[in-house]
């Protein structure tokens, strides 16, 4: 019989990190860009509209926003232009990794934990926001370019799981977005969440919620 570790970290072999809002402090910038671009199409958005859709691919969130708030669904060509505009603006914003993240990654690497990155962003955006010395810490990087069905579908996490090559119960996910948590749980993985963008009340599907990277760091150092 396989033992499922719901709380203790013994047996942990790999951690799969979401990128935006977990590794990099980028969600405010993403939200500002989307709000600007959608404004040009007459659609008013709040920051929370973006945070609650985080994890979806760019195109999936464009469709979902127009379905919910727009008067019509744009053509695929228009949506591509809208996404491209957003990327152009985003790539002029400075984005940094959260304080404490490098320390966490270094600690986990020293412990022999295999690290993966699973993001709803494009591979192009991963290269933009993460310097090579951080990217190379991840044995597996799954972007929206590598999958068919993005979060909340389990496909991104299942693909990462296959790449790292461990059993479900040996792998932990760290997320910050409700749809990312749904994706991880649907892949049969334990999932912790960080309150970087949304409060704990929005992250109730996670197995554990941390208010800060520091709190997560302390927990991992105590448990591993
Ligand atoms: Mg995220």
DSSP 21-34: TTTEE-HHHHHHHH
Query: According to the model, what pLDDT value does residue 73 have?
Result: 85
Is residue 61 one of the residues assigned to a domain?
Answer: yes
**How close is the Cα of 157 to the center of ligand 1, in Å?**
13
Is residue 18 one of the residues assigned to a domain?
Answer: yes
**Contact by Cβ (8 Å): 175, 192:** yes
3-class secondary structure, 115: strand
- Say if residue 22 is in the same domain as residue 32: no
**pLDDT class of 35 with cuts at 50, 70, 90:** very high
**Contact by Cβ (8 Å): 193, 216:** no
Is residue 125 one of the residues assigned to a domain?
Answer: yes
Pick from 162, 164, 160, 137: nearest CA to 150? 160
Is residue 212 one of the residues assigned to a domain?
Answer: yes
- Say if residue 108 is in the same domain as residue 212: yes
Is the confidence at residue 43, as pLDDT, over 50? yes
Is residue 3 one of the residues assigned to a domain?
Answer: no
Domain of residue 108 covers: 14-26+96-223
**How close is the Cα of 40 to the center of ligand 1, in Å?**
25
Query: According to the model, what pLDDT value does residue 8 have?
Result: 63
- Say if residue 213 is in the same domain as residue 136: yes
**How close is the Cα of 116 to the center of ligand 1, in Å?**
14
Residues 6 or more apart whose Cβ sits within 8 Å of residue 156 = 118, 119, 120, 142, 144, 146, 147, 150, 183
**How close is the Cα of 2 to the center of ligand 1, in Å?**
30
Query: According to the model, what pLDDT value does residue 70 have?
Result: 76
Domain count, the chain: 2
Cα 217 to Cα 72: distance, rounded to the nearest angstrom? 45
**pLDDT class of 7 with cuts at 50, 70, 90:** low
**pLDDT class of 10 with cuts at 50, 70, 90:** confident
């Amino acid at each position: 019989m396989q033992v499922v570790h719901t709380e203790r970290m013994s047996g942990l072999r790999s951690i799969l990190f979401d990128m935006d809002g977990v590794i990099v402090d980028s969600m405010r910038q993403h939200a500002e860009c989307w709000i600007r671009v959608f404004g040009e199409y007459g659609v008013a958005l709040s920051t929370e509209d973006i945070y609650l859709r985080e994890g979806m691919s760019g195109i999936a969130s464009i469709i979902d926003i127009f379905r919910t708030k727009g008067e019509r669904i744009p053509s695929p060509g228009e949506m591509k232009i809208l996404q491209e505009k957003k990327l152009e603006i985003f790539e002029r914003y400075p984005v940094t990794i959260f304080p404490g993240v490098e320390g966490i990654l270094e600690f986990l690497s020293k412990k022999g934990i295999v690290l993966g990155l699973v993001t709803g962003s494009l591979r192009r955006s991963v290269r933009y926001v993460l310097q090579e010395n951080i990217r190379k810490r991840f044995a597996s990087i799954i972007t929206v370019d590598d999958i068919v069905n993005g979060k909340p579908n389990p496909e991104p996490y299942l693909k990462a799981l296959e790449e790292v090559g461990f059993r479900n119960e040996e792998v932990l996910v760290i997320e910050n977005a409700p749809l990312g948590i749904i994706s991880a749980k649907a892949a049969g993985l334990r999932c912790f969440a960080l309150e970087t963008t949304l409060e704990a009340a929005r992250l109730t599907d996670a197995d554990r919620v941390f208010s800060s990277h520091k709190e997560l760091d302390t927990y991992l150092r105590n448990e591993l």
